Protein backbone atom coordinates (compact mmCIF):
# COMPACT_ATOMS: atom_id res chain seq x y z
CA UNK A 1 0.00 0.00 0.00
CA UNK A 2 1.50 3.34 -0.93
CA UNK A 3 0.83 6.38 1.20
CA UNK A 4 0.34 9.58 -0.80
CA UNK A 5 2.74 12.39 0.05
CA UNK A 6 1.84 16.05 0.07
CA UNK A 7 4.02 19.10 -0.29
CA UNK A 8 3.49 21.39 2.66
CA UNK A 9 3.81 25.16 2.34
CA UNK A 10 3.07 27.81 4.98
CA UNK A 11 -0.49 28.88 4.22
CA UNK A 12 -0.76 32.28 5.92
CA UNK A 13 -2.84 34.54 3.74
CA UNK A 14 -4.01 31.89 1.27
CA UNK A 15 -7.67 31.95 0.18
CA UNK A 16 -10.26 29.43 1.43
CA UNK A 17 -10.46 26.65 -1.13
CA UNK A 18 -12.53 23.75 0.27
CA UNK A 19 -12.58 20.30 -1.35
CA UNK A 20 -15.23 17.56 -0.97
CA UNK A 21 -14.95 15.15 1.97
CA UNK A 22 -17.10 12.01 1.62
CA UNK A 23 -15.80 9.24 3.90
CA UNK A 24 -17.88 6.09 3.74
CA UNK A 25 -20.23 5.97 6.74
CA UNK A 26 -19.62 3.09 9.15
CA UNK A 27 -22.77 1.16 10.11
CA UNK A 28 -23.74 1.87 13.74
CA UNK A 29 -23.39 -1.78 14.74
CA UNK A 30 -19.82 -1.82 13.52
CA UNK A 31 -19.09 1.48 15.29
CA UNK A 32 -20.38 0.06 18.54
CA UNK A 33 -18.31 -3.09 18.22
CA UNK A 34 -15.15 -1.17 17.29
CA UNK A 35 -15.60 1.41 20.05
CA UNK A 36 -16.07 -1.28 22.70
CA UNK A 37 -13.00 -3.16 21.50
CA UNK A 38 -10.92 0.00 21.30
CA UNK A 39 -11.97 1.03 24.79
CA UNK A 40 -10.71 -2.29 26.13
CA UNK A 41 -7.46 -2.13 24.21
CA UNK A 42 -6.75 1.44 25.29
CA UNK A 43 -7.48 0.53 28.91
CA UNK A 44 -4.63 -2.00 28.68
CA UNK A 45 -2.05 0.73 27.94
CA UNK A 46 0.33 1.38 30.79
CA UNK A 47 3.19 3.80 31.08
CA UNK A 48 6.37 1.74 31.24
CA UNK A 49 9.65 2.73 32.88
CA UNK A 50 11.53 -0.58 32.54
CA UNK A 51 12.24 -1.56 28.96
CA UNK A 52 13.59 -4.73 27.40
CA UNK A 53 16.76 -4.30 25.33
CA UNK A 54 15.00 -6.04 22.40
CA UNK A 55 14.99 -3.79 19.34
CA UNK A 56 11.69 -2.51 17.98
CA UNK A 57 10.87 -2.44 14.27
CA UNK A 58 11.89 1.13 13.43
CA UNK A 59 9.17 1.45 10.79
CA UNK A 60 6.51 0.93 13.50
CA UNK A 61 7.90 3.98 15.29
CA UNK A 62 8.01 5.98 12.05
CA UNK A 63 4.42 4.99 11.25
CA UNK A 64 3.31 6.01 14.76
CA UNK A 65 5.00 9.40 14.28
CA UNK A 66 3.22 9.71 10.92
CA UNK A 67 -0.08 9.00 12.76
CA UNK A 68 0.75 11.69 15.34
CA UNK A 69 1.45 14.15 12.55
CA UNK A 70 -2.15 13.75 11.32
CA UNK A 71 -3.34 15.51 14.50
CA UNK A 72 -5.53 18.58 14.14
CA UNK A 73 -3.65 21.78 14.96
CA UNK A 74 -4.29 25.49 15.44
CA UNK A 75 -4.78 27.08 12.00
CA UNK A 76 -3.44 23.77 10.61
CA UNK A 77 0.07 24.98 11.33
CA UNK A 78 1.27 21.50 12.38
CA UNK A 79 3.66 23.04 14.91
CA UNK A 80 5.65 19.90 15.75
CA UNK A 81 8.95 18.19 15.10
CA UNK A 82 9.58 14.60 16.21
CA UNK A 83 13.26 13.72 16.60
CA UNK A 84 14.00 9.98 16.58
CA UNK A 85 17.30 9.88 18.45
CA UNK A 86 19.52 7.02 17.31
CA UNK A 87 22.99 8.34 18.14
CA UNK A 88 24.08 6.61 21.39
CA UNK A 89 26.27 9.57 22.38
CA UNK A 90 23.30 11.97 22.04
CA UNK A 91 21.25 9.61 24.19
CA UNK A 92 23.98 9.48 26.85
CA UNK A 93 24.15 13.29 26.88
CA UNK A 94 20.35 13.54 27.16
CA UNK A 95 20.34 11.09 30.07
CA UNK A 96 23.20 12.85 31.86
CA UNK A 97 21.57 16.29 31.54
CA UNK A 98 18.06 15.02 32.40
CA UNK A 99 19.29 13.17 35.50
CA UNK A 100 21.19 16.24 36.66
CA UNK A 101 18.07 18.42 36.34
CA UNK A 102 15.91 15.76 37.99
CA UNK A 103 18.37 15.39 40.88
CA UNK A 104 18.05 19.12 41.58
CA UNK A 105 14.25 18.78 41.32
CA UNK A 106 13.95 15.78 43.64
CA UNK A 107 16.42 17.31 46.12
CA UNK A 108 14.46 20.51 46.61
CA UNK A 109 13.03 22.14 43.50
CA UNK A 110 9.78 20.14 43.81
CA UNK A 111 7.39 21.13 46.60
CA UNK A 112 6.47 18.67 49.35
CA UNK A 113 2.97 18.53 47.85
CA UNK A 114 4.41 17.63 44.44
CA UNK A 115 6.72 14.95 45.89
CA UNK A 116 3.74 13.49 47.76
CA UNK A 117 1.75 13.34 44.49
CA UNK A 118 4.64 11.45 42.83
CA UNK A 119 5.20 8.95 45.66
CA UNK A 120 2.63 6.36 44.42
CA UNK A 121 4.43 6.35 41.05
CA UNK A 122 7.78 5.42 42.58
CA UNK A 123 9.74 7.80 40.33
CA UNK A 124 13.17 9.20 41.13
CA UNK A 125 16.01 11.01 39.35
CA UNK A 126 17.52 7.86 37.85
CA UNK A 127 16.37 7.54 34.22
CA UNK A 128 17.97 4.42 32.67
CA UNK A 129 15.25 4.26 30.00
CA UNK A 130 16.75 7.37 28.35
CA UNK A 131 19.71 5.28 27.19
CA UNK A 132 18.32 1.74 27.44
CA UNK A 133 14.92 1.81 25.71
CA UNK A 134 15.45 0.71 22.10
CA UNK A 135 13.95 3.92 20.67
CA UNK A 136 13.80 7.52 21.88
CA UNK A 137 11.56 10.23 20.43
CA UNK A 138 11.98 13.86 21.48
CA UNK A 139 8.98 16.01 20.58
CA UNK A 140 9.51 19.71 19.92
CA UNK A 141 6.85 22.36 19.56
CA UNK A 142 7.42 25.09 16.99
CA UNK A 143 6.44 28.29 18.73
CA UNK A 144 6.60 30.07 15.37
CA UNK A 145 7.36 29.25 11.77
CA UNK A 146 10.83 30.20 10.64
CA UNK A 147 11.51 30.63 6.93
CA UNK A 148 14.91 30.16 5.35
CA UNK A 149 15.25 33.93 4.95
CA UNK A 150 14.59 34.43 8.68
CA UNK A 151 10.92 35.26 8.05
CA UNK A 152 8.88 34.53 11.24
CA UNK A 153 5.13 33.77 11.58
CA UNK A 154 3.39 33.14 14.86
CA UNK A 155 1.82 29.72 15.51
CA UNK A 156 -1.47 29.49 17.41
CA UNK A 157 -2.59 27.01 20.13
CA UNK A 158 0.79 25.33 20.09
CA UNK A 159 0.46 23.58 23.50
CA UNK A 160 -2.94 22.19 22.62
CA UNK A 161 -1.86 21.07 19.14
CA UNK A 162 1.30 19.30 20.29
CA UNK A 163 -0.53 17.77 23.27
CA UNK A 164 -3.11 16.26 20.92
CA UNK A 165 -0.35 14.97 18.63
CA UNK A 166 1.47 13.32 21.54
CA UNK A 167 -1.80 11.67 22.61
CA UNK A 168 -2.18 10.29 19.13
CA UNK A 169 1.45 9.14 19.14
CA UNK A 170 0.95 7.23 22.40
CA UNK A 171 -2.23 5.64 21.06
CA UNK A 172 -0.55 4.65 17.80
CA UNK A 173 2.45 3.14 19.60
CA UNK A 174 0.22 1.22 22.00
CA UNK A 175 -2.10 -0.08 19.31
CA UNK A 176 0.99 -1.17 17.34
CA UNK A 177 2.21 -3.21 20.31
CA UNK A 178 4.84 -0.87 21.75
CA UNK A 179 5.12 0.64 25.22
CA UNK A 180 6.19 4.20 25.98
CA UNK A 181 6.76 6.76 28.68
CA UNK A 182 6.21 10.52 28.53
CA UNK A 183 9.11 12.14 30.33
CA UNK A 184 9.21 15.91 30.80
CA UNK A 185 12.53 16.88 32.34
CA UNK A 186 12.44 20.43 33.55
CA UNK A 187 14.02 22.67 32.41
CA UNK A 188 14.38 21.09 28.95
CA UNK A 189 16.59 23.62 27.17
CA UNK A 190 19.47 21.14 27.00
CA UNK A 191 17.48 19.06 24.47
CA UNK A 192 17.66 21.83 21.85
CA UNK A 193 21.41 22.05 22.33
CA UNK A 194 22.09 18.31 22.24
CA UNK A 195 19.85 17.76 19.21
CA UNK A 196 20.79 20.97 17.41
CA UNK A 197 17.22 22.23 17.01
CA UNK A 198 16.54 25.74 15.71
CA UNK A 199 15.46 28.75 17.80
CA UNK A 200 11.75 28.44 16.87
CA UNK A 201 11.52 24.99 18.51
CA UNK A 202 11.05 24.22 22.20
CA UNK A 203 11.28 20.71 23.67
CA UNK A 204 7.89 19.36 24.78
CA UNK A 205 8.48 15.75 25.86
CA UNK A 206 10.99 12.91 25.74
CA UNK A 207 9.39 9.57 24.88
CA UNK A 208 11.33 6.32 25.32
CA UNK A 209 9.71 3.49 23.32
CA UNK A 210 10.12 -0.27 23.43
CA UNK A 211 8.82 -3.51 24.88
CA UNK A 212 8.36 -3.84 28.65
CA UNK A 213 11.25 -5.68 30.37
CA UNK A 214 10.51 -9.28 31.36
CA UNK A 215 10.47 -8.18 35.02
CA UNK A 216 8.67 -4.86 34.37
CA UNK A 217 6.40 -3.61 37.13
CA UNK A 218 3.99 -0.68 37.09
CA UNK A 219 2.28 1.24 39.89
CA UNK A 220 -0.99 -0.29 41.06
CA UNK A 221 -3.11 2.56 39.69
CA UNK A 222 -6.87 2.83 39.44
CA UNK A 223 -8.48 4.80 36.63
CA UNK A 224 -11.36 7.12 37.36
CA UNK A 225 -14.67 5.54 36.40
CA UNK A 226 -16.55 6.80 33.37
CA UNK A 227 -19.12 8.30 35.77
CA UNK A 228 -16.39 10.41 37.33
CA UNK A 229 -15.01 11.79 34.09
CA UNK A 230 -18.15 12.04 31.93
CA UNK A 231 -21.00 14.41 32.79
CA UNK A 232 -24.02 14.31 30.51
CA UNK A 233 -26.18 17.40 30.73
Smallest distance, Å, CB 133 to ligand IYR?
14
Q: Is 126 in the site for ligand IYR (CB under 6 A)?
A: no
Smallest distance, Å, CB 51 to ligand IYR?
15
Q: Is 217 in the site for ligand IYR (CB under 6 A)?
A: no
Q: Say if residue 54 is preceded by a cis peptide, omega within 30 of 0.
A: no
Among 103, 123, 132, 160, contact with ligand IYR (rule: CB under 6 A) = 123
Number of residues this chain uses to bind ligand IYR (CB under 6 A) = 7
The H or E element spanning position 82 is: strand 80-84
Which residues inside 149-188 make contact with ligand IYR, applying CB under 6 A?
A: 183-185
Taking CB under 6 A as the rule, which mask of x and - marks residues 103-122 in contact with ligand IYR? ---------------x--x-
Contact assessment for residue 76 and residue 145, using Cβ atoms and an 8 Å cutoff: no
- Residue 150 sits at φ, ψ, to 5 deg, of 85, 0
Among 102, 142, 206, 207, contact with ligand IYR (rule: CB under 6 A) = 102
In the bound state with ligand IYR, the residue whose beta carbon lies nearer, of 79 and 185, is 185
Number of H helices, E strands in the chain: 8, 6
List Cα–Cα distances, 154 to 73, 183, 197, 219, in angstroms.
13, 27, 18, 41
- Nearest residue to ligand IYR, using CB? 123
Cα gap 88→99, rounded to integer Å? 16
**Which stretches of the chain bind ligand IYR, using CB under 6 A?**
102, 118, 121, 123, 183-185
Amino acid sequence: MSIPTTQWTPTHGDPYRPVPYRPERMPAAESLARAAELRERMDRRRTVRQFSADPVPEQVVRDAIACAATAPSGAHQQPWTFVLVKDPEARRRIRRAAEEEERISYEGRLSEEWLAALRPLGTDEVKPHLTDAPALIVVFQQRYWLGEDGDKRKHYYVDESVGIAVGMLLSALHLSGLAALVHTPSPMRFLSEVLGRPANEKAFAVIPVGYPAADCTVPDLVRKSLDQVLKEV
